[in-house]
Amino acid sequence: MAKEQTMTVQQAIDYINDHTWSQWRLGLERTRELLARLGDPQKKLKFVHVAGSNGKGSTCAMLERILREAGYRTGFFPSPYIEDFRERIQVCGEYITEEALCEITNTVRAQADAMEDHPSQFELITAIGMVYFAREQCDMVILEVGLGGEFDATNVIDAPEAAVITHIGLEHTEYLGNTLTEIARTKSGIIKSGSDVVLYENEQEVMDVVTEICRERGCPLHIARFGAIEPLEASLAGQTFRYRGAVYSLPLLGEYQLHNAATVLAVVEVLRKRGFAVPEGAVAAGFANVRWPARFEVLSTDPLFILDGGHNPQCAEALAESLAKYVPEKVVFLMGVLADKDYGKILDLITPFAEEFVCVTPDSPRALPAQKLAELLTGRGFTATVCGGIEEGVRVSLQKAQDARDSQEAKARPVVAFGSLYMAGAIRTAFRRQRTVPCLQK
């Protein structure tokens, strides 16, 4: 038998990306067929399955770190990635190896290319992840939904230990529905008989939908009540809070992260009831040691440079709350958005904190051109500089921060990079190349 031809990492990534997300459509048939051809690796695994509009990634990151601190071999399937494609498939905090990515993609390709209806990009990544997690004998996989819930490729799994629904807002209405009720119903598609369900304390119409579906499917419902969280201290270095007598330290910033933490604590209680040993020390260590990039992430303190990958009005509202709490000065926004987002509402929320803008185009076919964004901002009375790329955008925004220091102001003006996760990785990379400054987080 001829030896199977190997791939390079770039060839593996290029193959996956050849089948872009635009091929997404309703239904799980392709994913089920592909995984069946691969021996159904997902049936060998246990999962916590997480859906929602905002906070999925942070919630998953906290929970993964807590379970890792408790001694479990964890799989983590976040999306999208920030800097390295391999971020999307992790075991115990380590990215999938280059060798494994190449080998498994080669195996998946042989099966996918033999299918009459070829799987999409996300379906391919999901299959690769399942094969890797099973091979690595993960005790628990923290599985983040890509889009929606009911028809997302990740929903091919059997009943998870916990189905988690984070904050829900209006998003992807062309796919998920035009009301919170419709979107909540789609995302609640991850709820299966045999699972416990943990729900972030949402709008009442969302709560009603999830409660109804849990009743229909016989699933115990646990609501993360934010009133149980008592904030203690907060600064740009992190925050502390008390929950049922225990005090925790969390490096992730923003009040919304305390809400996500309440959700995580509810999941921990569910897992304990289901027989998983999660000591209190592991919970404290997990919160203290969690890292999650591009979510109100402080890249430097002089000048203050904050990176936030928020991309919709709910994220903009959270950013506005954090700026009001942590940053008293007007800021330079380094900004790019996707054209299919409600960028008018986003601007309504953040412009009260702006001195001026530096506009870039995110690396996405769905991006709003920087020139169009600048025109909208100048129409609102702001100075908006258009840059040809992320590297130039970072350089120009840093220069504007320095210009404030060189003028009558005592210190550099803060910079906040915001608007899309599709540009977050490039911003982090460009920033490291251009600045060496004291950092609060690595």
Whether residue 278 is found in the same domain as residue 317: no
pLDDT of residue 442: 35
Compute the average pLDDT of residues 135-140.
Answer: 98
Whether residue 311 is found in the same domain as residue 282: no
- Residue 393 pLDDT > 70: yes
Q: What is the pLDDT of residues 29-86, one digit of tens each?
A: 999 999 999 999 999 999 999 999 889 999 999 999 999 999 999 999 998 899 999 9
Q: Which of 289, 313, 334 is the last residue of a domain?
A: 289
Whether residue 265 is found in the same domain as residue 302: no
> Taking a C-beta distance cutoff of 8 angstroms, is the pair 91, 136 a contact?
yes
Lowest model confidence (mean pLDDT) among 43-57, 160-174, 262-276: 160-174
Q: Which of 289, 307, 327 is the last residue of a domain?
A: 289
Whether residue 96 is found in the same domain as residue 162: yes
Q: What is the pLDDT of residues 274-296, one digit of tens each?
A: 999 999 999 999 999 999 999 99
Joined together, the tokens standing for residue 430 give 């460009």
Q: Is 240 exposed, middle or buried (0-12, 13-18, 19+ CB in 10 A)?
A: middle
Whether residue 262 is found in the same domain as residue 361: no
CATH at 44: 3.40.1190.10
Name the more confident of 239 and 442.
239
CATH at 359: 3.90.190.20
Whether residue 129 is found in the same domain as residue 264: yes
Whether residue 119 is found in the same domain as residue 253: yes
Confidence of residue 148 (pLDDT cuts 50, 70, 90): confident
How far from 169 is each of 31, 366, 412, CA to CA, in Å?
27, 20, 35
Residue 261 lies in a domain: yes
Q: What's the CA gap between 297 and 314, in Å, rounded?
A: 17
Whether residue 403 is found in the same domain as residue 387: yes
Whether residue 301 is found in the same domain as residue 221: no
pLDDT of residue 377: 97
Compute the average pLDDT of residues 146-167.
Answer: 95
Residue 55 lies in a domain: yes
Whether residue 204 is found in the same domain as residue 247: yes
Q: What's the CA gap between 73 and 142, in Å, rounded?
A: 11
Residue 442 lies in a domain: no
Residue 4 lies in a domain: no
Domain count, the chain: 2
Whether residue 375 is found in the same domain as residue 254: no
Whether residue 280 is found in the same domain as residue 313: no
Q: Which of 289, 321, 336 is the last residue of a domain?
A: 289
Q: What is the pTM of this model?
A: 0.91
Q: Which domain holds residue 78?
A: 9-289
